[in-house]
Amino acid sequence: MASRHIFVCTNGRASGKPACGPRGGDAVVAAVQHELLARGAIEVLVTTCGCLGPCFDGPNAVVYPDGVWYGALAPSDAAALADHLIDGRLLAAKVSQRPGASADVTPDTTGEPADDALNAAHGSRTGNDGQS
């Protein structure tokens, strides 16, 4: 089972807005896959997808189960995205807000592994609020 999974928008239809595919989404996917293969990382997945929503910020991606969104990606970000997928280290410079989210749910970009940063910012994933 994969520990993390990144979905990268490669939508090719602009429909009046910028589209991630022609803006480099396909190249980001290829670069991340190449980086992961070079590191022998087999416990993570890279998947192309259609529109993720924030077209003007693309190419965009989202990493699960962390729920971390990235925008304005480039192939040169592949090593840092691989770091996130393998070790949970966020690419802080490219973290973006989830579409439709309020400003207070943007992940911590301190460089901590994503699970720790998100849990610290939003409480434990188990729903335990620390009260007894």
Q: What is the pTM of this model?
A: 0.77
Distance CA 23, CA 72 (A): 9
For the chain, the C-alpha Rg in angstroms (whole number) is 15
Q: What is the pLDDT of residues 31-75, one digit of tens each?
A: 999 999 999 999 999 999 999 988 888 999 999 999 999 999 999
Assign a CATH topology to domain 4-122: Glutaredoxin (3.40.30)
Q: Which of 34, 31, 33, 84 has its CA nearest to residue 62? A: 84
Q: Which of 110, 44, 32, 26 has its CA nearest to residue 77? A: 32
Strands 44-49, 68-70: pairing kind: unpaired
The single-letter DSSP state of residue 43 is S
Domain ranges across the chain: 4-122
